[in-house]
Amino acid sequence: GNSVTQMEGPVTLSEEAFLTINCTYTATGYPSLFWYVQYPGEGLQLLLKATKADDKGSNKGFEATYRKETTSFHLEKGSVQVSDSAVYFCALRRFSGGATNKLIFGTGTLLAVQP
Amino acid sequence: NAGVTQTPKFQVLKTGQSMTLQCAQDMNHNSMYWYRQDPGMGLRLIYYSASEGTTDKGEVPNGYNVSRLNKREFSLRLESAAPSQTSVYFCASSEGQGYMNTEAFFGQGTRLTVV
């Protein structure tokens, strides 16, 4: 079946450090891939997305590239800030015939950035 | 911009009590979802509704019922609450079938504790 695996957290970094959060997926066909972010006490919001192989999604200094050959969609940011502290979820969506195109989430990675 | 609105934000129930979580969206979306979020397990889909008048089970439907009252509203009911249903519940909505690339919008969540 379809699934998403992302690195365990928490990830603790100092401000201005480089961030990578790994995400790999299992899916047949060509899913769309997403990163969502959840700030403390809030719901999830879309951070970036990519809809086909080799697409790069980017937003707020974060980027991720859809790598079909390695079935990966790793999240990166060159210089993190304290305000980036949140839980990050990798997700995929694959259209499955008559069913609605459900989002499938990874378990989430907590990022804590220290000043 | 209200987006997706969930009520209540917090609730404490005794084992065996019933309650309904309400969700409404004002974006004219066809699809709506209920997820639960538990530590180390990410978001798991409870039920979803591809369109008004239709509902389907997700990964963890046992102990829950849903009603798609109209296009705007999608409620989740716990008939006899159990401690295992202590969780944070999120409602979400998105464009329906054929709109793979669109994002899902989430409510702010309901933190439910069953004692």
Looking at the predicted structure, is the pLDDT value of residue B11 above 90? yes
Comparing A34 with B96, the larger pLDDT belongs to: A34
pLDDT tens for A53-102 read 999 999 999 999 999 999 999 999 999 999 999 999 999 987 665 445 67
Looking at the predicted structure, is the pLDDT value of residue A103 above 90? no
Which of A7-11, A99-103, B77-81 shows the lowest mean pLDDT across its residues? A99-103
The amino acid present at A69, given as its one-letter code, is E
What Cα–Cα distance (Å) separates residue A23 from each residue in A5, A108, B90, B92?
6, 10, 23, 22
Residues of B in contact with A49 (CB under 8 A): 101, 103
Q: B9, B108 in Cβ contact below 8 A?
A: yes
- Structure tokens given for A7: 């690195």
| Band (B41; pLDDT cuts 50, 70, 90) | confident
Looking at the predicted structure, is the pLDDT value of residue A34 above 70? yes
Nearby residues of B13 by Cβ (< 8 Å), 6 or more positions away: B19, B78, B81, B112, B113, B114, B115
Nearest C-alpha neighbor of B31 from the set B81, B110, B106, B113 = B106
**How far is the C-alpha of B91 from the C-alpha of B5, rounded, in Å?**
8
Which residue out of A4, A30, A44 would a mutagenesis test of the B interface target, given it has the greatest number of B Cβ atoms within 10 Å? A44
CB contact under 8 A, B103 and A99: no
pLDDT given at position B96: 60
Best mean pLDDT range from A76-90, A101-115, B30-44: A76-90
Looking at the predicted structure, is the pLDDT value of residue B17 above 90? yes
Question: What is the mean predicted confidence (pLDDT) over B47-55?
Answer: 88
Averaged pLDDT of chain A: 91
Comparing A29 with A12, the larger pLDDT belongs to: A12
pLDDT given at position B98: 47
Looking at the predicted structure, is the pLDDT value of residue B99 above 60? no
Question: What is the mean predicted confidence (pLDDT) over B109-114?
Answer: 96
- Structure tokens given for B74: 């999608």
Among B56, B100, B107, the residue with its CB nearest the CB of A99 is B56
Residues of A in contact with B45 (CB under 8 A): 102-104
Question: What is the mean predicted confidence (pLDDT) over B76-89?
Answer: 97
Residues of A in contact with B110 (CB under 8 A): none
pLDDT given at position A85: 97
